[in-house]
Every structure is written in structure tokens, then in C-alpha cells.
Structure 1
Amino acid sequence: MPKGLKGKDDMRIRVIVPNGMVLEREALKITAPGTEGFFQVLPRHVSSSWSLRQGVLTVLGEDGEEHMAIDEGFLVKQDDLVIVTCLRAMRGESLETLLESVDRSFRETEEKEQQLKEVLVKLETETLKSFMDLG
């Protein structure tokens, strides 16, 4: 729809991560996890920008609510366009399934980090042992 014909209560949101766009849709209300606490963006709000923390972004549209887990980033509203940029974002069918997916993803990440720490400790130990053998 041409910009001049859009209603005053229309707003479009785009969620962008480093490898592409993960969400683009119309929105009536957006609730986001700001660094100073949760806040809401409505179509008639003035253009502004906010820093985001890790949490759940909720987008309310005419067809219902959509939840998305996001990492740190920024939200910029300019006129009727809202752009969210963050490092990671994960969509969920419902808030419950989203939380389960995030929990599973965090557990997998923690396991990988633990494995990496073990490899680094082993490497450091072997390096120190090699230096001691030289002396």
C-alpha cells in the first residue's frame, strides 16, 4: 500500500540478524526488552531508538501475537517502520514452545562452551608441561 494511504495505526516491523531478516510483518503493538526494562512501541509514537537486552520480543498484529527470543541489540522506530537488529533471534509457535527452544539452545551452547573450556585447559596444561621439560 502506498505510504500516503496507510492508516495512522499501521506499523511495520523488521527483525534483522547478521545473516539476514528473520521477521517482517505488520504490527499494532510491539513489546521489547530494553536495557532499562520492558517498553512498548505503538504506531503513533515519535521516532526514536532504544538499546535492547536479551529477552522476549512480542509483536501484536491483527492476526494475533508472535513471540521471539532475541539477544542484545537495538530497536529503531522511524515513522511507520520499526527495525530491530540483534545478534540472534529465535521464533516460537507459542511462548511456551519458544521458552523450551531457548532453554534447549542455551543448554547446547553451554555444553559446547564446556567442551571448549576443557580443550583449552588441556592445551594450556600440555604447553606448560612442554615449557617445564625444556628447562
Structure 2
Amino acid sequence: MPLMTLKVLLPFAVFAEEKQVSRIVVETAQGAFGLLPQRLDCVASLVPGILSFESKAQGEVFLALDEGVLVKTGPNVLISVRHALRGTDLAHLRDAVEQEFLTLNEREQAVRAAMAKLETGFMRRFASLRERSS
């Protein structure tokens, strides 16, 4: 029976590389999307959600994924996302996702505030230079 290789990529690292995967289920904007080894090659846009896969070595495994893209070519399934978390229990994974996203949201708000300050300073300097040249 043919099996698949699943690779999950983050912007700066390989998050997971799983061999002997018998099935994968991901979330798309149109709903859940299942992959078996004989499925035709495809590309899918992923929404934030839970990916589940089953392998001989680990049984059923759950990954929480941010939005991204999935590409299946032959037995290889490549997924590229910005953030991912692993879990074997959905309740613990949900708690971890909530905690991780709260931390990300706080960092994102701090970055946005810093960018707003930089933009305001730039606009003031630009306006000042325009007034001097007039």
C-alpha cells in the first residue's frame, strides 16, 4: 500500500517531516479536505485550523496551522504556513493555540504601535522638509 510523506514548512524552519502517512485532513475555506495516497496532485489554500494525519509510527496526530498553502505531488505533501503547533490531544492543543495566539496578538500590537510611531515621525519630517523648500 503506497503511503505519503508530509512536510510542514514555516518561514525559517521545517516544522515537521513525517513519513509513512496514510491520510491527511486539512481545513480550507470550502471545508475539510481529505488526502489519501492515490489522490491526484493538487494545490489547496488553507485557512487557520486543525490538520490531522495518521502514520504507522504515531497513529493520529493533530497540528494547529495558520493560513497557508498545500501542494500534493505524487506521494509528497508540502504545506507552507506562518505558525504551527503539534498535539496529540485536541483539548490541550486548543489551550496551547489560545495561549500562543494571545502572545502573538500582543507582539503584533506592539509592532504595529512602533510602526505607527515611525510613520508619524516620518510624515512630520517630510512635511517639515516640504515647508522649508517652498
TM over 0.5: yes
Of 75, 81, 90 in structure 1, the residue corresponding to residue 85 of structure 2 is 90
Tell me if 1:23 matches 2:39. Answer: no
1:47 corresponds to: 41
Question: Residues 115 and 84 of structure 1: is their aligned pair in 2 closer, same or farther, counting only changes over 3 Å?
Answer: closer
**If the length of structure 1 is used for normalisation, what is the TM-score?**
0.76
Tell me if 1:65 matches 2:57. Answer: no
CA–CA distance in 2 between the matches of 1:19 and 1:122? 28
Contact (CA 8 Å) 2:60, 2:88: kept in 1 or not?
A: no
CA–CA distance in 2 between the matches of 1:32 and 1:47? 15
Of 101, 108, 130 in structure 2, the residue corresponding to residue 106 of structure 1 is 101
Aligned residue pairs total 123
Of 11, 29, 38 in structure 2, the residue corresponding to residue 35 of structure 1 is 29
Percent pairwise identity: 29
Per-residue deviation, 1:115: 4.3
Gaps of 5+ in 2: 128-134
CA–CA distance in 2 between the matches of 1:39 and 1:117? 34
Per-residue deviation, 1:72: 1.1
Across the aligned residues of Structure 1 and Structure 2, the Cα RMSD in angstroms comes to 2.4
CA–CA distance in 2 between the matches of 1:19 and 1:36? 29
**If the length of structure 2 is used for normalisation, what is the TM-score?**
0.77
